[in-house]
Structure 1
């Protein structure tokens, strides 16, 4: 059994609703609905008292915009987000490699990314002691602005599979 003080927290957020203008996929911005709804993810975190120490976001326009809305809601407690091009169009193994590089002093990490890897990461990480309802909801449907929260025992470097307890799956809107 892991001591509660050793637990880290991982937040995984799918970007808000994107628009479909005639631009390359990487450059797609949030739709009006995405801009209206994205702040709700940050408000939910504040309501839960969850403040990331670090935020790593895909460098795509829609993920950067979603992250901006979230950090606006987090206010003075928001960290400066780090843009990582490896999170765009990434296989879940690459996403895990990014997480595995995180420094151990980071207690709460937030990732902002895309389908399909956000859902695949949830499926891969959810341990048997996860909240069953949260896992089922996430597995059946992972809409835009879907957000998972995990308790992570041990080191970021060793996070791999079935070793994080999913405590929440929410779609704040």
Structure 2
């Protein structure tokens, strides 16, 4: 199974009247999200399911990813992932099957590739735990892990998850 941990694309700070939760993407974020989606598609790691924070910037990032892929990826947006800690992110991952659409809840229909879209510091902390060393994600940065598990309900650790790729928008042509 494959896990992708991704930070939302760059958000806009221009309107000080907006709450943090309601901040949209800025021009760079709207440019980087489809580029990262293209890289994911080219690398064969487009997700089967997306777990995301329900903030405006993560919803917009997800929309830009999906627009690049053509076929929308089934998604679940949760306030529990808004500014979630690493332990909360892992708890949401273990509960993945609860968030699947009814048609995907049949045994054996669990997503093979799961994308978790969130915020720092939690998303970087979760990646750091799996990497077994500290890392930081810039906006629209991600890490792809190959996980030797048979179900998302299993606990993830450096022992059963190896990083396959890490990418940042600045690394793309």
In the superposition, the TM-score normalised over structure 2's length comes to 0.84
4+ residue segments displaced more than 3 Å: none
The size of the alignment, in residue pairs, is 155
Alpha-carbon deviations, 1:46-70, whole Å to 9, x = none? Answer: 1112221100110000011011000
Unpaired segments ≥5 residues, structure 2: 98-107
**For residues 46 and 159 of structure 1, what CA distance do their matches in structure 2 show?**
27
Match in the other structure for 1:156: 152
Structure 1 residues without counterparts, runs of 5 or longer: 1-7, 128-134
Whether 1:169 and 2:166 are equivalent positions in the alignment is: yes
Give SS of 2:127's match: helix
Distance apart, 1:80 and its partner CA: 2.5
Whole-angstrom distance in 1 between the partners of 2:83 and 2:7: 13
CA distance in structure 2 between the aligned counterparts of 1:126 and 1:48, rounded to whole angstroms: 20
Matched, 1:17 2:13: no
Greater helix content: 1
Q: Report 1:9-158 matches (<5 A).
A: 9-20=2-13, 21-22=15-16, 23-76=18-71, 78-103=72-97, 105-126=110-131, 139=135, 141-154=136-149, 155-158=151-154
